[in-house]
Structure formats: C-alpha cells, structure tokens
A and B are shown apart, each in its own frame.
Chain A
C-alpha cells in the first residue's frame, strides 16, 4: 500500500471533522437537487452541488475511506457530465444521485460509530454500477484515479480500493468517541470562558472573606451576601449559554422538506408548490429530533390528502398546482410550526360516519365542532377515501399528536371546506 493512502485515518479529530462537514454539506445539497430538476441549466446550482461531493471524494482518500471515495467519484462524474451538458439532470438521474447521498450518509454514520464503511458489499456495488450506467461519460477505470500527473508524479499514488478497504476496516480506531458531537461557535466558548474567569475572581474574594471572618463577622456577612448575589447571576448566565449552545437552526430539518415533497408529488401525480419559511429559527436540538417524523408525515399528508387532484382543483376553480406551506416562527415563549394546504379541507362528514361505524363515537349529537375536528387524532381513523402507500392508513395523526405532546407541545387543527387545512404545532421554547 502506498504510504500516503489514509495517512490521517487514525486522526480522530480530522475524521470527526470530515463526518460533520460531509453530513452538513450533504444535507444542504439535498434540497438543491430538487431545484436542479426544475432549472437544469443553472450552472451555479450544479456547481454548488458538485463542490461538496468533490470535497468528500478528495478528503476521503486521506482518511482511508476508499468506498466513500469510489461512490463520491461516480456521483461527481455524473454531476460533471451534467455540468458539461453531456446529460440532463432528469428525474431518473436526480433520484439516483439522491440515493447516492443517502448511501454516503449511511456510510458516514457507520464511520462515526467506528464500523466498516459498508455493510453489504453487493448493495454498494450495485449502486455504483447503476450510477455508472446512467453516465455517458463513464470511463472503464472510473473509481481509480487516472494517471497523468506530470509534475507531481511523486505525490501521486494509484488508489487500490479493495486492499485499502480491508485494511481500513480491520484496524480498530483507538480512543473512539462515539455518540453525537455538537458544533459550537468559538465566540460562545469565549463567553463561557470569561464567565469562568469571573467565578475565579469570586473565589479570591471568598478567600479574603474567609480570612476576615473571625475579625469582623458582620462585615464578612455583608460581603458574603454580595458574593452570593454575583455568584447566582453568573451561574444563571452560564446556564443560558449552555441552553443556547444546544440550539440549532431548524434549517437542518426544513432543508429536507423539498425532497419529501418531491417524492410525494411524484407518487401522487399532484403538482404542488412548497412554501418553506423560517429556516433560521433556533430551536433546542431535541426538538429537531422529535419534530422530524411528525413533520415529514404531515407534509406527505398535506400533499396526498389535503391537496386535490389537478382535475378536481380545476373543477373547483383553483389552479392545478396546489400549495403547501411549512413555516416555523417563534414568539417570546413558543416555537410555532405551521403546516397548511389550500386543498379541499377535511371531510368531516365521512370522518364522523367512520368514527361511528368503528364505535369510536356513539352519540354524534353531543360532539362540538371542535370535537369532530379532533376526531382525526383518534387512532385508526383517517378521512382518506383511498388508503394509499403514503398515508391514510390511519396510523398517522394519532402518532403525530403523541409525538408532539411527548415533546411538550400541542397540535391544533382548523379546516375549511374547499379552502384547505391548517395544523399549528406549538412547543415551549425551553
């Protein structure tokens, strides 16, 4: 093995940086793929997608991650062909590249857990083959770096994926630190450091008081009370800093929305314009995690059930393209997530009939309009006429409600016949 292959694979700090940077950039380009499908000639967009894949390929070689490198290389070649107008980024190509991104992410997760890059070699090779197959520019030797460096011949060594993989996989990484890492701004660390400095000052004051206490107890008490007050306020500020450090921009989650929407639109055959807002809102990291499943489910729901078919929309005098809004905002005390559509609204009548049939409701007359609306949150109920693969199996909204409430939040729904449906999720800020 050439010595420069994987020279840094034991450097955990660099490996960690690689995993984080790659994950972040892959997250950010996911939504750009959807935009690319609509604007296939946007060179800036292609470059913005190309660059992170290019970096992943370049960096992986230093870390001995040869499978990552092979996949990134194939994806890069396809993007390069798109960039050079050799091929169109049609639905098939974009879907394949998104599959590649998913696979890269899965590999990164395994790398972070100190596991081998790939689990099933056949699946990996199959994906690489598929990506290669769509690329009219694909070379036979793709995956290995082309020879041809004249000036820096001594810098360059042929990649040997097979051999390297085995070695990289067999070698245990020392001092592993599995688990999540968090990115923190340097300025925040400095602030906490300053606060610790202030605590140090208090420590000196306390030492002085300790010496004086026998001589002048009354004076010492006054001073102690003063120190106590300052101590408490510093402690409070440190606590606030830690809460801030654990916050992340909801962008992490919202940037996945276009892709989910795209898939659902393709599966249902409904054209829908997504309106996403509030990416910069900072939320506790735990909220991103608990919001993920409900949000994605509700977006699928909004497209699958909320928005009508283009034919029905035309009949109702609406544009064929439906609209779905996903907006995150904040008040003093709450994070508010709004998911709304301009579809037909919930069919309360059929919902009520269904609920009665299933024995979930016995006396319909006793129900207020709000009670009827809330029927959608009952387990096993769905107003969808056709149970599809996407949603409408009645396993949806009750789980959504449960998840949201588990995170300390609440769900509200309002719906108007012919106008659409709006869900508001509210979570406490702290």
Chain B
C-alpha cells in the first residue's frame, strides 16, 4: 500500500479557486501529490501521460465536462479502473444517479469539509485496493 504522499491525484476544475480548495483539503490530510487540469480536455491529456491513483473532477466545465472526461479517461489503456470522484454542486437525484451510472465512483456535493472529502477518498482508495 502506497504512502499518502505518494498517492497521485488529478484535480480537474475550471475554477482555479476550487482547485485550490480541493488541493488544500487533500493536503490537510497528508495527500500532497496533486496535479491540476482546467477542463476535461486537459484532464484527458494529463491522464494519457501519467498514471494517477485518483481523479477528482467537477461536472460542468468547458471543452469536455466531467462525465465526458471520465468516459474518455476510462477508455485509455491502464486507466480502466482509476477511481473518479465527482466534486460538484449538481445534486438532484437524477444527477447523482446519472454520474454513478456513467462510471463515477463517488459523488460529493459542494460545499464539503476537508474531512468529508478525505474520508470519501480513503474509502474509494481502499475499495480500489481490495475490490
């Protein structure tokens, strides 16, 4: 099992403020290895060149939204199982079901506390380790 600081995250959000908030939340709990992407397209590009342990993404973004990006990343060789956590304000029942159907592993509604985010991530990572 990797140490927390070696677990590599990709944070995808078109808002630079939100990327900072997510990164600060992760760092609070020892997850310091993060990369950023400003939209789904950049997210896919980054995923091509690097193996991430977990991807945190917004839903509504320009160029490619979080769902489209998840689908494209999952189609990449080696990325079929990478855990994707959706961090978003979209929160109707339909939204959540839709996202989970499209292969998102967990769903977190903004605003969240760093603790909630990290607990969710711990859960997703543990599940990925021992499916």
Known: A17-B16, A150-B96. A4 touches B62 (CB 8 A): no
**Contacts A17-B20, A149-B96, A150-B93 hold; do A58 and B113 have CB atoms under 8 A apart?**
no
B60 near A54: Cβ-Cβ < 8 Å: yes
Complex interface residues of chain B between 46 and 101 (CB less than 8 A to chain A): 60-62, 89, 91-93, 96, 100
B20→A149 contact, CB < 8 A: no
Q: Is the CB of A55 within 8 A of B21?
A: no
Q: Is A338 an interface residue (CB 8 A)?
A: no
Is B130 positioned at the interface, with any CB of A under 8 Å from its CB? Answer: no
The yes or no answer to B7 lying at the interface (CB within 8 A) is no
Which residue in B16, B60, B61, B109 is a CB contact (below 8 Å) of A156? B109
Is A145's beta carbon under 8 Å from chain B? yes
With an 8 A cutoff between CB atoms, is B126 at the interface? Answer: no
Distance from A363 Cβ to chain B, minimum over Cβ atoms (Å)? 63
The B-contacting residues of A in range 39-65, CB under 8 angstroms, are: 47-48, 50-51, 54-55, 57-59, 61-62
B15 partner residues in chain A, CB cutoff 8 A: 21, 55, 58-59
Check: A186 CB closer than 8 A to any chain B CB.
no
The segment from A5-13, A92-100, A172-180 that touches chain B is A5-13
The answer on a CB contact under 8 Å between A156 and B91 is yes
Show 28 residue pairs from A and B whose CB-CB distance is below 8 angstroms, ordered by the A residue.
A4-B113, A5-B111, A7-B113, A7-B114, A13-B20, A14-B20, A14-B21, A17-B17, A21-B16, A47-B62, A54-B89, A55-B18, A57-B89, A58-B15, A58-B89, A58-B110, A62-B110, A62-B111, A145-B91, A146-B92, A149-B109, A150-B93, A151-B100, A152-B96, A152-B108, A152-B109, A155-B109, A155-B112
In the complex, whether A154 has a CB less than 8 A from a CB of chain B is yes
Q: How large is the interface on B (under 10, 10 to 19, 20 to 34, 35 or more residues)?
A: 20 to 34
CB atoms of B96 and A4 under 8 A apart? no
Task: Assess whether A3 is interfacial by the CB under 8 Å rule.
Answer: yes
Interface positions of A from 125 to 158, Cβ below 8 Å from B: 145-146, 148-152, 154-157
Contacts of A61 in B (CB 8 A): 110-111
A→B interface (CB under 8 Å): 3-5, 7-8, 11, 13-14, 17-18, 21-22, 47-48, 50-51, 54-55, 57-59, 61-62, 145-146, 148-152, 154-157
B107 → chain A closest CB, angstroms: 5
Report Cα–Cα, A62/B107, bound state, in Å: 18
Contacts of A58 in B (CB 8 A): 15, 18, 89, 110-111
* CB-contacts of B1-32 with A (<8 A): 14-18, 20-21, 24
Chain A residue contacts of B96, Cβ below 8 A = 149-152
Given A21-B16, A55-B14, A155-B116, verify A8-B21 contact (CB < 8 Å).
yes
Q: Nearest 8 A-B pairs (CB), nearest first?
A: A61-B111, A55-B15, A4-B113, A18-B17, A58-B89, A59-B17, A17-B17, A149-B91
Q: Are B91 and A148 in contact (CB under 8 A)?
A: yes
> Are A51's CB and B60's CB within 8 A?
yes
Q: How far is the CB of B70 from chain A (nearest CB, A)?
A: 16
Q: How far is the CA of A13 from the CA of B15 in the complex (A)?
A: 15
Q: A14 vs B28: C-alpha distance in the bound complex, in angstroms?
A: 14
Cα distance A150–B24 in the bound complex, in angstroms: 26
- Cβ–Cβ contact A62 & B116, under 8 A: no
Minimum CB–CB distance for A300 against chain B, Å: 33
CB–CB A151/B17 < 8 A: no
- Chain B residues within 8 Å of A17, by CB: 16-17, 20
Query: Which residue of A5, A59, A154 has the most chain B CB atoms within 10 A of its CB atom?
Result: A59
Residue among B16, B62, B107 having the largest count of chain A Cβ atoms under 10 Å: B16
Inter-chain contacts of A149 with B (CB < 8 A): 91, 96, 109
Give min CB distance, A60 to chain B, whole Å: 9
The residue in chain B whose Cβ has the minimal distance to the Cβ of A17 is B17
Among A4, A48, A145, the residue within 8 A (CB) of B112 is A4
Taking CB atoms and an 8 Å cut-off, the chain B residues in 110-128 that contact chain A are 110-114, 116, 120
Knowing that A61-B110, A152-B96 are A-B contacts, what are 17 other residue pairs whose CB atoms are under 8 Å apart, sorted by A's residue number? Answer: A4-B111, A7-B111, A7-B114, A8-B24, A17-B16, A51-B61, A54-B89, A55-B14, A55-B17, A58-B18, A58-B89, A58-B110, A59-B18, A149-B109, A152-B107, A155-B108, A156-B109
CB-CB < 8 A to B24: which residues of A? 8, 11, 14
Q: Shortest distance in angstroms between A62's beta carbon and chain B's nearest beta carbon?
A: 5
Bound state CA distance, A145 and B111, in angstroms?
11
